[in-house]
Structure 1
């Protein structure tokens, strides 16, 4: 045994010995699920009734607080289209799934990193003091860095940030861990993983997160709007920052124009969307995953009928001549005609021609969604949509072209001229203590392949022109992030998860990720701490103070304090805080915007007046704007960010990568699984959609008990299926059903509707994983997590993005005894720790 290992062993003995005196009594105490009323009476000091202006991912609101308890939520008066979800935000603070105390998984407490990892997920945890939990955290950081180096520590996995410029959970984590040592990080994200890789090669920018053409210009100039696999009315309820919901006024105007026949709106979708229900228009119902054949057939029609814009293709694009042989079938003998596409997508050839002619008849705005790139070969959909828009020739004109972000972040709203606040940075400029070698492994991995990495250390994959060699991952840290929601093939994930030695999770809800962790640290919610945020996303309508609504519940700490105290253990507290308190940072962030505002001619009050008196500063609206207008006007002076500066219909850079599943121009590739006669459909005939939910933000708000009851069916996540599909299976509205395939099985509540075409069903992503037998692969999910059923394969070797939308299932009425839902409460309580100590592996 090395001296280093001996010292680590001594440290562990000290950690555990100290727990005997400090922990046993607290663990034997009462239930971890103390009622909120009891908590309020015993732990919170009564204060005067007050109303607090604050904000969230669902909008701004005024919280009524009585005797320290948040009792009512009223939407912000400046939000003219608030979402009903705002009523669920209070429940984020008060629900049975709150993480109340620092907790350590029972067997990890006994054996540390040598624990029986097959017990993860069995929900047996022991409450420990904060100091002890952070000591364990630091000890594991040291052990992994010293024994394996940075490639074994995965700490770059982040998801949706917390609202607030200071308290971004992932940023806090990366700043602190980065001061200790370098680590394995991620590339890309789950939301737009395929599109964000291919579109910079094709259109010069990610496109997916960009502002879109101002809605007033679209309403004035567009003749046709094609909404392709997108549902803005559903998805604009939430935002990355605090949404102002201003685009809803434009959708109301659009609905009026549709009623008057001034604009034609066409939905290419197998489902009647919320946008279609509000706005009206006509629907092209196509078989799932066959959007690319339909687009190719539109392009074929535009070309063969000479309806495409030859001048735009010549002046603003490159590679059309290399794409044409594929389109016309010169090379493979298959012309991508409407007749060819009709056999795949189920849309009659004449209807395809009619759609193409309508799009070419006047100014057309194409609104593309994200779900269609979250499938096998999802890059092809994004690429081909740009090609169709280029052939129409409307790119850069008001009310024309393409966009991939219309359903996100108040897109299309007028952007103000107000300042933008910077946030708390994940880097400090201070060198890490540990800066070891990655030992030939890659320092980052595509995020959607992280389970594949755990499962296959040493494996080399291709990604975006690079070789990625998976490291031997030993430890993972997640902060304000729930990979047990957003990753696919849950049972494969559970099996791979057992290879990790230590998992640490910092959160305020007992998500499945927490249940599968070894050390769980309780963080405050956004509403139990002070912060500041922009009001409006792309609109940038103002700056909103986020004062603490209520005091922190139980032993929850702010992420800032958690990581500050962790950094203190390796003498980097000063580097982490830069000598500032949390309020100092908030004032610093505000004053940066105030200084920026002076240069823009926008005057902001001093911080004290803003924080103590107004709490909100409103900016005036800006000027209408057209996406890609500068490129269209002066392509030589304002080129795109592509290799050629033009739209690349054929991309030599991608072609030179030599990938068989993503070549030099957009193509149709058959899927591993596809409904309506495609591969796998005989065994599992229904295409499962797992789109963004109507009632949540991903998995956030799923633990809000009262809110969940407003949409759950038989206490389960709804599964939407067509009337014919339900009748043939003997399923009625409200039945508990089993949704299953070879990857897993879930219970859900049936919603029978003709909004979905036959062969298509949907369970919204974000439904919490709730296993019947915790930690056991293959067990029944009692609530309805769709990622029990989805495929964990890369979109292609270019992006290696999620393929969540490529999944087939079947559904049957559940006839057994219906089990209780398991996912929405805290861990099992260990009531007697004393017998455990003699068995500890010290």
Structure 2
């Protein structure tokens, strides 16, 4: 194409080549070194230049005229020049912090706005708000918040640090594991994205190698597609994993297969857990016959699997999805107990692992090499809420709530500033969130597109996409370094987050404190030079910034050879010299700390606690269990504007079992209504035997509709999900605790 220039850039879904002509992105192609490239970039040209881009600073008409929330979500917007809009926003920020204090400001961001290290929306908004006196922050993520709360009590380690730095790599698993037991599967579709990007998508390829070796891989969950086709499938009822794990543990103990030498040396509390397992405390032994009607697995299949797990090198993996349900703490805790009873924790290719396949990079064995981080500064405000409790916070200021051993009141939030995320994608019960969203006095959003969140804001600043600014792509979970060039001029009047916050800070008398006298180019130069110096200390040479610009990308020599030396391996070798960071220094099967919290929804050792909404409580009104997996065609809700234009792509596709479909007169391609008491959405049916009967699956990510619609037209499952904390300990999201029904739509 005449006049076309081509560059490589990176993203959360990987690296790709980009063709630019006449200041427009016109095409993308896979990065040559990627063995299984994602198709997500295919839609990028349409998305970046889509008519739903926020063109100019916009202020909601009703708020501009009355300074009230009335009409939020259904009002029109007035476009203003940048200077005027920044003046108004800065004055409002000053009013709130001086009148109500910084404890009345909530800083929301999910951090997925860009794979670039400087233009990282979460760092930008938090640095700005910290400079302005602080903000109410959030703990955890919707993906792993429950696990982040429970697992430090069990294994004594920050869950994300364990996930990214202390698990066996794929090569170690290949060389040592004989039985791979995957609760929730390992889905290569999910592994196409990662924080900071994943350049070589390897998950699917490793499973081909596992099959060639003869490894037995067992996918345990409601969908066959949650693991590669080569895996066995044990179709499990959603929400019942803990019951199955308890039954497996019962077989180990009952048949003398449990490794009591390991339990004695490396764990505490089995003596408190064993009476419950055997039914001595509650009168119900956790036998396979007890578990079978709860989880849907045959007793003989449970016994056979338990025996194999005890007599072969076995790695138990647990998907993030298991902790995104009511009582999500229990399967995570119980999986560690089950692995401890087998006694292989700390052996290569054995024990327990979390999040394989959840994102790319988990299973990649790399030498530790820190990335580049734009300092957020220190937050003077100490108030922190669990991230999934934002709607509760907005609707219930002053209400006391429990979280991980603490009890505190929700703050009275008067202003929300959101950048780099779309809460009307990832939160549960979006109709209820819409009502809670009416409570703050002011909502400010930096956003490239008119998402449901932008439509429900009062002040919307048009933000650039990663393709309209320069940055550096680097993450500790990948062995590539990228220069991310500015490919096109900003669309409309868009500005990057740093420029937006600089403008606000200058108007609030905080310009020097926020910028330290540096523009974006200077910060990128500084962050990259610091990175080069740290790399040099590790004996790794990378080009200077001009060299990287010319070279575009570097493959870093940081892949490890040989088995991982995880902290569990060191702990196994000498638990006295290398204790865990738990109170006992060991794996805590019984936690005196958790027991001391007195939570009936998360007692001192793992237990079976049935969810309030699951197939065990299904009714004629809601007979089907809804699961809402990550989408395969995008990251969260990004690029959805253009995807919605693809013929037949929207509404989203609902997977339904043939018997459930036949009962409702539904065929593949039919439009259906998915509904419960919380809401309803439209979807397109796909009839398949790859899902367990009684379960339906609807991916997340479709943009939430407008207020007043009695049925979301695009297929967003969070119109249906329940906004309930996992327990008083974790307070994570419980999206997978949802019952619905489905009916065919005529016409």
Scaled by the length of structure 2, what TM-score is found? 0.96
1:767-786 pair list within 5 angstroms: 767-770=702-705, 774-776=706-708, 779-786=710-717
Correspondence for 2:436: 496
- Does structure 1 residue 376 correspond to structure 2 residue 326? yes
Cα distance between partner residues in 2 of 1:537 and 1:347: 40
User: Once the two structures are superposed, what CA deviation does each residue of 1:25-70 show, in whole Å capped at 9, x if it has no partner?
Assistant: xxxxxxxxxxxxxxxxxxxxx9953111211111111211112221
Contact 1:64–1:70, Cα closer than 8 Å, also in 2: yes
* Partner secondary structure for residue 224 of structure 2: coil
Shift of 1:102: 0.8
**Paired residue for 1:696, among 627, 634, 643?**
634
- Does structure 1 residue 189 correspond to structure 2 residue 141? yes
**Paired residue for 1:809, among 724, 740, 747?**
740
- Does structure 1 residue 339 correspond to structure 2 residue 339? no
* Partner secondary structure for residue 761 of structure 1: strand
Cα distance between partner residues in 2 of 1:264 and 1:115: 57
1:1-400 pair list within 5 angstroms: 48-112=3-67, 114-116=68-70, 119-208=71-160, 209-211=163-165, 212-248=167-203, 251-258=204-211, 262-277=214-229, 280-400=230-350
Q: Say if 1:159 and 1:167 are closer, same or farther in 2 by CA, change over 3 A.
A: closer
Moved more, 721-730 or 638-647: 638-647
User: Once the two structures are superposed, what CA deviation does each residue of 1:670-717 show, in whole Å capped at 9, x if it has no partner?
Assistant: 211111xx22433201100011112221111222237x637x55x311
Correspondence for 2:459: 519
Correspondence for 2:656: 721
Correspondence for 1:731: 666
State the superposition RMSD in angstroms. 1.9
* Partner secondary structure for residue 491 of structure 2: coil
Shift of 1:131: 1.2
Cα distance between partner residues in 2 of 1:454 and 1:255: 48
* Partner secondary structure for residue 50 of structure 2: coil
Contact 2:400–2:408, Cα closer than 8 Å, also in 1: yes
Contact 2:175–2:349, Cα closer than 8 Å, also in 1: yes
Cα distance between partner residues in 2 of 1:400 and 1:414: 16
Contact 1:62–1:73, Cα closer than 8 Å, also in 2: yes
- Does structure 1 residue 793 correspond to structure 2 residue 687? no
5+ long unaligned stretches in structure 1? 1-45, 817-842
* Partner secondary structure for residue 141 of structure 2: coil
Contact 2:219–2:227, Cα closer than 8 Å, also in 1: no
Cα distance between partner residues in 2 of 1:674 and 1:253: 34
User: Once the two structures are superposed, what CA deviation does each residue of 1:500-548 show, in whole Å capped at 9, x if it has no partner?
Assistant: 21111101011110011111110000010000011x652x313110011
Correspondence for 1:608: 546
Q: Say if 1:689 and 1:115 are closer, same or farther in 2 by CA, change over 3 A.
A: closer
Correspondence for 1:828: none
User: Once the two structures are superposed, what CA deviation does each residue of 1:633-674 show, in whole Å capped at 9, x if it has no partner?
Assistant: 121222212111110000000000111100000001121111
* Partner secondary structure for residue 232 of structure 1: coil
Shift of 1:764: 0.8
Contact 2:69–2:438, Cα closer than 8 Å, also in 1: no
Correspondence for 1:640: 580
Q: Say if 1:241 and 1:126 are closer, same or farther in 2 by CA, change over 3 A.
A: same
Cα distance between partner residues in 2 of 1:622 and 1:258: 23
Cα distance between partner residues in 1 of 2:363 and 2:720: 35
Correspondence for 1:825: none
Shift of 1:157: 4.3
Correspondence for 1:37: none
* Partner secondary structure for residue 637 of structure 2: coil
* Partner secondary structure for residue 283 of structure 1: strand
Shift of 1:320: 0.3
Correspondence for 1:406: 356
Contact 1:144–1:475, Cα closer than 8 Å, also in 2: yes
User: Once the two structures are superposed, what CA deviation does each residue of 1:433-455 show, in whole Å capped at 9, x if it has no partner?
Assistant: xx7xx8xxx72211111111111
Q: Say if 1:619 and 1:586 are closer, same or farther in 2 by CA, change over 3 A.
A: farther
Q: Say if 1:721 and 1:347 are closer, same or farther in 2 by CA, change over 3 A.
A: same
5+ long unaligned stretches in structure 2? none
**Paired residue for 1:471, among 411, 414, 420?**
411
Shift of 1:415: 0.7
Correspondence for 1:622: 560
* Partner secondary structure for residue 300 of structure 2: helix
Shift of 1:137: 1.1
Cα distance between partner residues in 1 of 2:571 and 2:39: 40
Cα distance between partner residues in 2 of 1:72 and 1:588: 32
1:453-468 pair list within 5 angstroms: 453-468=393-408
Correspondence for 1:38: none
**Paired residue for 2:536, among 598, 611, 618?**
598
User: Once the two structures are superposed, what CA deviation does each residue of 1:708-750 show, in whole Å capped at 9, x if it has no partner?
Assistant: 637x55x311111111111110111111110000000000111
Cα distance between partner residues in 1 of 2:683 and 2:551: 48
Alignment: residue pair count: 741
Cα distance between partner residues in 2 of 1:788 and 1:322: 41
Cα distance between partner residues in 2 of 1:615 and 1:802: 38
Shift of 1:259: 5.0
Shift of 1:256: 4.4
Contact 1:247–1:412, Cα closer than 8 Å, also in 2: no
* Partner secondary structure for residue 461 of structure 1: strand
1:439-450 pair list within 5 angstroms: 443-450=383-390
Cα distance between partner residues in 2 of 1:667 and 1:150: 41
* Partner secondary structure for residue 226 of structure 1: strand
User: Once the two structures are superposed, what CA deviation does each residue of 1:83-125 show, in whole Å capped at 9, x if it has no partner?
Assistant: 111212333312222111111112112112x352xx1111511
1:699-710 pair list within 5 angstroms: 699-705=637-643, 709=646
* Partner secondary structure for residue 596 of structure 2: helix
Cα distance between partner residues in 1 of 2:604 and 2:113: 36
Shift of 1:629: 1.2
Correspondence for 2:676: 741
- Does structure 1 residue 558 correspond to structure 2 residue 512? no
Q: Say if 1:549 and 1:466 are closer, same or farther in 2 by CA, change over 3 A.
A: same
Contact 1:120–1:775, Cα closer than 8 Å, also in 2: no
Cα distance between partner residues in 1 of 2:579 and 2:387: 31
| Superposed structure 1 runs of 4+ greater than 4 Å apart | none
- Does structure 1 residue 485 correspond to structure 2 residue 425? yes
1:424-439 pair list within 5 angstroms: 424-427=374-377
Q: Greater Rg, structure 1 or structure 2?
A: 1
Shift of 1:754: 0.7
* Partner secondary structure for residue 189 of structure 2: helix
Cα distance between partner residues in 2 of 1:303 and 1:615: 53
User: Once the two structures are superposed, what CA deviation does each residue of 1:587-613 show, in whole Å capped at 9, x if it has no partner?
Assistant: 211111211122111122222222234
Contact 2:267–2:586, Cα closer than 8 Å, also in 1: yes
Q: Say if 1:80 and 1:604 are closer, same or farther in 2 by CA, change over 3 A.
A: same
